Amino acid sequence: MTRLGQHFLIHQPTLQSIAASVEAQTGDTIIEIGPGHGELTRELGIRNEELRIIAIEKDEGFIDLLKGTFKDKKNISIVHGDALTLLPSIIHNSTFRIRDYKLVGNIPYYITGHLFRTIGELSKKPSRAIFLIQREVAERMIAAPPRMNLFGASIQAWAEAKIIARVPHGYFRPPPQVDSSAIVLVPRGNPLPAGYYAFIRTLFKQPRKTIFNNLRSIGGSSEALKKKLISWEVDPNSRPQDLSIDQMKEMAKFFSDCR
C-alpha cells in the first residue's frame, strides 16, 4: 500500500469489465480519479483512442511514471493534485472545455465519503460514474428500506446506484484486508429539495429512535407532526431506515417550505 492508502487493481478481466462499464463513446471526456500506475487509464485508452482522458493523481511519486507511460498519448492529460479540491475547478476550466463527462476510479477507502459528498454537491454532475470502493460501503450505498441509512440516503437522492461486480481482495496489489465492489452511479435529473441534506442528518441523528422523535427537534406541534406523517403514509413509530428516498424528499420539501 502507498502512503496514500492505494491498493492497485491488477486483475486484467476486472480492469476490462470496469472500462467497458464506463460506456465511453468517441469524443467523451473521462475523468479518472487516482490512476496510480495507470492500469485502468491504459485499458480505457486501448478501448478508444478518441476519448479525452483526464487523470487526477495526488501522489507526486506517480506523476513522472504516468507522464512517461502516456507521453505519446495526446488525448491523455495527467493532472497532479487532490481530486477532492480539483474536481470542481477542472469541470469548469475553460482550458478543458468540458461539456459532458464521466467519472471513473479505484478509490482509496479513506476518501470515499468525502468524494461522494463532493460529487453530490457539484452543479455539473457526470453523466455516469463507475468506482471501485470497499464492499461494505457499496452495500450501504445501495440500501433500501428497511435498511436505509444516512449514507445511502445522501447518495441515492441524486443518483441511481447499482453494484455491477464484486472484486476479491486478492485482485489488488498489495491486497487490502477486505473485498471491494464496482458500483455505477447514474445521476437523476431532478434537483434536490432545499435543505435535503440537513433534513436527513436530523432524521438519522439517532437512527434507533422513531421518525416522530427525531423530527420533533425541528419544531412545531407534536400533534400536527403526527398527522402530517400519517398523511404521507408514514407510521410515526417507525424508524428512519424504513423510509424511501421519495418519502424523504417529500418530507424535506415540506419542512423547508415551512421555514
Low-confidence ranges of the chain (pLDDT < 50): 1
Q: CA separation (Å) from 102 to 105, 106, 128, 210?
A: 10, 14, 5, 39
Query: Are both 203 and 137 inside the same structural domain?
Result: no
Q: What is the CATH number of the domain that holds 115?
A: 3.40.50.150
Domain boundary among 135, 153, 187: 187
As a whole number of angstroms, the distance between CA 150 and CA 200 comes to 7
Query: Are both 41 and 128 inside the same structural domain?
Result: yes
As a whole number of angstroms, the distance between CA 225 and CA 241 comes to 19
- How confident is the model at residue 2, as a pLDDT? 52
Query: Are both 136 and 206 inside the same structural domain?
Result: no
Query: Are both 39 and 149 inside the same structural domain?
Result: yes
Burial (CB count <10 Å: 0-12, 13-18, 19+), residue 138: buried
Query: Are both 113 and 220 inside the same structural domain?
Result: no
* 159-167 sheet: strands from edge to edge: 76-80, 52-57, 29-33, 102-106, 128-134, 180-187, 159-167
As a whole number of angstroms, the distance between CA 76 and CA 54 comes to 6
Domain presence at residue 100: yes
- How confident is the model at residue 150, as a pLDDT? 97
Residue located via cell numbers 482522458 = 53
pLDDT tens per residue across span 58-99: 999 999 999 999 999 999 999 999 999 999 999 988 777 888
Domain presence at residue 68: yes
Q: What is the CATH number of the domain that holds 238?
A: 1.10.8.100
Could you tell me the three cell numbers for 183? 458500483
Query: Are both 18 and 140 inside the same structural domain?
Result: yes
CB of 128 within 8 A of CB of 23?
yes
Residue 125 belongs to domain spanning: 8-187
Query: Are both 137 and 111 inside the same structural domain?
Result: yes
Asked if the peptide bond before residue 88 counts as cis, ω within 30 degrees of 0, the response is no
Query: Are both 119 and 58 inside the same structural domain?
Result: yes
What is the total count of domains within the chain? 2
- How confident is the model at residue 1, as a pLDDT? 45
Domain presence at residue 183: yes
Q: What is the 3-state secondary structure (H, E, C) of 54-82?
A: EEEECCHHHHHHHHHHCCCCCCEEEEECC
Closest among 79, 92, 81, 161 to 120, alpha carbons compared: 161
- How confident is the model at residue 259, as a pLDDT? 65
Query: Are both 146 and 49 inside the same structural domain?
Result: yes
Domain presence at residue 118: yes
Query: Are both 83 and 174 inside the same structural domain?
Result: yes
Query: Are both 182 and 206 inside the same structural domain?
Result: no
Query: Are both 93 and 214 inside the same structural domain?
Result: no
* Alpha helix stretches (DSSP H) within 95-163: 112-120, 135-141, 150-156
The single-letter DSSP state of residue 96 is T
Domain boundary among 187, 212, 235: 187
Could you tell me the three cell numbers for 21? 462499464
